[in-house]
Structures are given as structure tokens and as C-alpha cells.
Structure 1
């Protein structure tokens, strides 16, 4: 029998595994960022085409999650997760051996279809075990585990480039997927209650997704977190150009600046988890989204007036990331609060909407050409204001 919901007092090993699984998708996003110039040269292509492999990966993550949700509600959490990890490993190996940008783009999409399992299922597993407040804490702890990925991945990718080629980066991704596959097969136990199994039928799936799309609080909380995440993906897609091309940062040190912002996200998420002992998720979300909008609007104003510098940009980005440490876990927990009988589908739709927002913002940053940070700061401001707007609507409905 799966465990009944219980208070979160210590960090169980299964939660650490869920965090590592959640980090697999971001690992495939962040680790190859310093290799963009090397891929351009190695595949004889353009910077824009390489950046579009990132947007393609995000779109793949978005679409794939819609499939994992119903399968997780029908066959449990473990089997779909194993299937996704196998797909991720195969696609990562194929990326390492590709010889043109078209095949790299294709295999990046396939890689996303595998990595999407680690985005959907851990959230459902957490809600299988915890109530809303403890789920917020658990999701904050997930950010602590997965937050190591944005810090280490670009640094690791840059070091791989020193001793080898960009192909070695994808080989390491495959190895990480293999290690997680072993962990899931040997240590993970099924958490889906047999009484909550949902038949896998097109009408049932359509009815559940339609019900979620019409659920005002679910949709608004999801979009509040989704547009916040969209800002993060705009930063991920645009930061190599801004830091390396605009400000002339050596690619070997790009990961350090990237890591400072990730550290702000981690620290804030842990402060959020502690504050949940005295404050409601709604209260923390409201304040964080206000700060999110203010920091990005300040960055946009500095850019437009030509007074932006690397130091000022980093301060605004750190403030943005710290706010995200509060927004992401609380918005996700509030969105899933009323979806007990369809957690897999709800988690899938949440991930899909958030990834679509992220892919769109990442694509917009790649297409917006400028020799200033304007594409990055402009998209951050747009995403933050939309996140604030949907958050306010959700809180009023609650």
C-alpha cells in the first residue's frame, strides 16, 4: 500500500531521488549552454540555430508531459518514469554522435520527451505523500536539490570543453540518466493508491483536461508560476549572449555568474520553506510576485536609459531569482491543492503550460537581436508582470 499523507519533518531518501529526477530536465538545458560557440563551429551552423535547439527542447518538454500525466494516473508513477529515462539515455547518446544541426534538433526533442517524465511524476509523488502546506515545503526542498544543477551544469559543461569536445557533454547526460534509472528500478516504490487509478481512455483524459482548463484557481496559479518560469527560461536562453557577447565574459567563467543567480534561487526557496511554518503559501506568493515585477521593471528601465551595467544587471537578476524561489513552490502547491483524484494529469498540464510559456519566451529572446541586454530585460519584465497578474486573479478567487 502507498503511504498515507504525513507531516514533513525530515528529508526522506525518496524525496532526494525525486529532486534528482526533477533536475534531469534542467541538466539537459543548462549543461550545454557554454558549448554554444563550439557547436556553431563544429556543426558549421549559426548561433540562432543552436539557440533554437534549446527552444525545441522546451517545446518537447511541454508536449511530452501531456502524455505522462494520464499514464501516471493509470499505470502508476514508476513504470512511466522508467520508460522516460530509457528514452532520455538513448536520445542523449544520439545527440553526442550527430553531425548536423537538423539531427541535433531532432534528438534534442526526443531527449525532452524522455526528460519530461522527471518533470511530471515527482510532483505527483509529493502530493501522494503530503498535504498542501507540506507539499510546498517538499517542493522547496526539491528546488534545493535541483538548484545544484544550474550551479554545476554550466561549470561542468565549460570544464568538459577544456578537456574534450561538446559531444562529451551529451555523453555525461546519458550517464546521469543511467544512474537515475538504476536508482528508480532498485529503490523507488509505487505511491499511487489503487483506489485513485483512472482508466486510460480518450474520453476520460479529455474530460480531465477540460475540467482542469475550466478550473479558475488551478489555471491562474499554474500561469502565475508558468510566467515566472518563463522569465527563468528567457534568462537561460539569453544569458550566454548577454554575458559572453555583450559584456565579454570568458565562457569558462560564465558558469560562475550563472551559479550566483541559481544560488539566490536555492537560498530563497529554503527561506520560503521555513516561513511556511508561520505564514500561508498565499501570503508568501503575494509578496514574492510583487518583488518579481519590481526587480524586472527596474532592470528594463536601466536598460532603456542606457545606464545598465553588468553589476546592476546581476543585482536585478539575483532579485528576480530570489523571488522565484518563493513563487515556484507555492504556486505549484496551490495549483495542485484541489486535484487529489487527478494529480498526474494536473501535474502534466501544469508542466506543459509552464514549458510552453518558457519555450515561447526563450524563442522570443533568441529572435530578438540586439547588442544590449534589452531582449533579456524586456522579456523578464513582460513575464514577471503576467505572473503577478495571474497570481492576483488566483488569490482573489481563493
Structure 2
């Protein structure tokens, strides 16, 4: 079941990383600009956010499995539409649908684990799932770089359609219904609104959700800008970019393995704080390096590795801590975390693109800014409550 959930959670890296090496070629093929092709990333991320915001709360009343099946089927169809898109406008619209349906798998994979586990057990399960799912961001850019020449960027979307079919089979075979009828809300719209109120009123949940989303914003600044930074600024080939991307993804997997082993020995919040602090510190050094020697690959690439690897101590731990704060509405909590995560990513991508494709500075600024805000949210909003009678 964890493998099937990991594949569902891998929708975002699969649907972004596989076609990243082809972004420069796509802009020429469809007669559009750099900002135009980056808009396909933006709409996909917006769709992921909106889809989770809709499907997560619905699953608290309808159950998880039925919605998972519908979502994976629509994901396969929308991926085929992306492959057939004749213009950038059609591709942007198809990516929105692809993102919306893909968000179903992401939000419900988290909800299924939250149905089954809490606390450190949940943190371990989320980290294990991310280790399994971490194969996707390692293989996806390599496959994209290898497949780009023989099948083109349209062929890559056909491959994504086939993967979506495999996701559907995984749900059918391995994912049971984890939310029994007696635990579902039955009050229709009023219960839906009540769940949102219950989740949004929890300050600590909001702090962990903000930390989670802002850290992913840093990740997506790297994802959306790295094809142009590595190829046009650092002078690497598409294949070399794919290898660099894969190495960074391996750092993410290794970090998740280490995090899984440390969860039983250290407090989850302490590990989370270490990850966020490393992200911010690495971003500061990256910004300095970009300003001083922005075309030196030997300087830029190791700092990118540090920033990406730090996320392995953030994403799973922030998810587990946030979900543990709202056990009565796991689907709604997962939806809000996911919507904020990909909604912020949708904003970051075009902002980084507007900074130009001939410098790494916009990417570095985005990483520093989101890292600083994530550290602030974690420090201010997730503080444990004061003991009774203690001075404020």
C-alpha cells in the first residue's frame, strides 16, 4: 500500500521533472516565450492546489478510495490531452486539468496515512513513503533527458498517461478504504464548513502548514529555474542537467533515510527546525555565490544540493506534525497543506521567470525569502503552549 501511495504522491515530480529538460525546446515548438512554457508549470501547480482543496474535504464525507479511482482515471485522460495539444493555450488548459486530477492522489495519500497513524509513527511512514516516491524525481529527469530526442516532449506526456494507468491499477489492487462510514461527517455543506473552521482555528497546524508550503516554494523555485540556470547560465547540456537534477534528488532520498532513522531518537520538531535552518542558510550562501560568481558551476551546484537535501528534514516532518494537530479532519487538513503548497509554487514559478533566464540570482532570492518565512512561521506559530500559570 505504501508503494501505491508513494506512486500517487509522485504525480508532481513525474509530471514536472520528466519534461523539464524539454522546456527550452517546447518554447520553440509552440512558438512561445520562456514565461509561456513556465506557465504550464504554474497552471499545473495551481491545479494541484485547487484539486486538493476540493477533494480532501470531500473525502472526509465520502471516503478515500472512490475519489482516488476517479482522480487517477482523469489524470490519464488529461495527460493524453497534453500530448495532443496543438498550441500553448491548449497545453496550459490541459495541464490545469492534469494538476487538478493529480492533486487527488497527493491529498488522499496523506489522508490515508493520517487515518492509520499519528505522531512519530506517522512521521516515519511519511518519510518512508517519500523515500519510495523519491525514486521519481531521480529517474524522471534522466528519463526525460533520454527520451526527449527519440520521442519528443509530446511522447513524454504519453509516458505520463501510461504511468497514470499504473496508478489506477495500484489503487484497485492495493489501497483499501481507510475511512469507515462511522468516522465520516454526514452533515453536507455545514459539516464541510465546520471542518475548515476546525482546521483553520488551530494555530499550530497553520504554522506547520506554512512551514511545509514555504519550503516547497523554495523547492519549486529551484525546479522551475534550474533548467535555464544550468543550461543557459552554467553551460550544461540537457543530459548533464538531468544528471545534476538526479544527484540532487538522490540527496533528498538519502536525507529522508537519515530522517527516518533519527525520528525515533530526536523530537520531530527539532529535526524540522534543523531542516528549515539549513534551507535558509544554504539559500543565503547561494545568493552570495550567485552575485559574486554566478556562472561557476563548481560553486553553485553544491549549494543547490544543500538546499534541496535540507527538504528531506522538512516535508515529511512538517506533514506529520501538521496532520497530528487535526486528527478529526485529516482530509481537510491534508487539502489545506497541499493547496497552500502548490498554490505558493504556482506564484513562485512566474516570479522567478520574470527575473530572467541569464542569472541564478532570482532563484537564490526566492529560496532565501521562502526559507526565512518558513523559519519565522515555525518559530512563531508552532511554539508549545505555556504551562498553566506561567508568565507570557
TM-score, L = length of structure 2: 0.95
Partner of residue 199, structure 2:
212
From 134, 139, 151, the counterpart of 2:121: 134
Partner of residue 158, structure 2:
171
Alpha-carbon distance between aligned partners in 2 of 1:329 and 1:223, rounded to the nearest angstrom: 14
Answer whether contact 1:299 1:308 (CA < 8 A) is retained. Answer: no
From 337, 355, 378, the counterpart of 1:391: 378
From 305, 316, 331, the counterpart of 1:329: 316
Answer whether contact 2:228 2:358 (CA < 8 A) is retained. Answer: no
Residue 44 of structure 1: CA displacement? Answer: 1.7
Alpha-carbon distance between aligned partners in 1 of 2:137 and 2:174, rounded to the nearest angstrom: 26
Residue 370 of structure 1: CA displacement? Answer: 5.1
Residue 172 of structure 1: CA displacement? Answer: 0.3
Alpha-carbon distance between aligned partners in 1 of 2:59 and 2:42, rounded to the nearest angstrom: 26
SS at match of 2:134: helix
SS at match of 2:236: coil
Task: Establish whether residue 66 from structure 1 lines up as the match of residue 53 from structure 2.
Answer: yes
Alpha-carbon distance between aligned partners in 2 of 1:122 and 1:396, rounded to the nearest angstrom: 28
Partner of residue 389, structure 2:
none
Partner of residue 376, structure 1:
363
From 223, 226, 248, the counterpart of 1:261: 248
Partner of residue 195, structure 1:
182
Task: Establish whether residue 23 from structure 1 lines up as the match of residue 10 from structure 2.
Answer: yes
SS at match of 2:42: helix
RMSD value, Cα: 1.4
Task: Establish whether residue 152 from structure 1 lines up as the match of residue 128 from structure 2.
Answer: no
Unmatched segments (≥5 aa) in structure 1: 1-13
Alpha-carbon distance between aligned partners in 2 of 1:370 and 1:98, rounded to the nearest angstrom: 25
Cα shift readout 1:234-281 (whole Å, capped 9, x = no counterpart): 110000110011111111221100011111111111101100111110
Residue 308 of structure 1: CA displacement? Answer: 6.3
Cα shift readout 1:153-190 (whole Å, capped 9, x = no counterpart): 11111111121221100000000000110121133211
Alpha-carbon distance between aligned partners in 2 of 1:376 and 1:25, rounded to the nearest angstrom: 20
Instruction: Provide closer, same or farther for how the CA distance between residues 186 and 109 of structure 1 changes in structure 2, counting only shifts above 3 A.
Output: same
Alpha-carbon distance between aligned partners in 2 of 1:62 and 1:373, rounded to the nearest angstrom: 27
Alpha-carbon distance between aligned partners in 2 of 1:159 and 1:135, rounded to the nearest angstrom: 36
Answer whether contact 1:89 1:174 (CA < 8 A) is retained. Answer: yes
Alpha-carbon distance between aligned partners in 2 of 1:187 and 1:285, rounded to the nearest angstrom: 31
SS at match of 1:277: coil
Residue 387 of structure 1: CA displacement? Answer: 0.9
Instruction: Provide closer, same or farther for how the CA distance between residues 200 and 39 of structure 1 changes in structure 2, counting only shifts above 3 A.
Output: farther
Unmatched segments (≥5 aa) in structure 2: 386-392
Aligned residue pairs: how many?
385
SS at match of 2:358: coil
Cα shift readout 1:37-96 (whole Å, capped 9, x = no counterpart): 221222122222011110111111111111111221112111011111111111011111
Alpha-carbon distance between aligned partners in 2 of 1:308 and 1:300, rounded to the nearest angstrom: 12
Answer whether contact 1:302 1:308 (CA < 8 A) is retained. Answer: no
Partner of residue 345, structure 1:
332
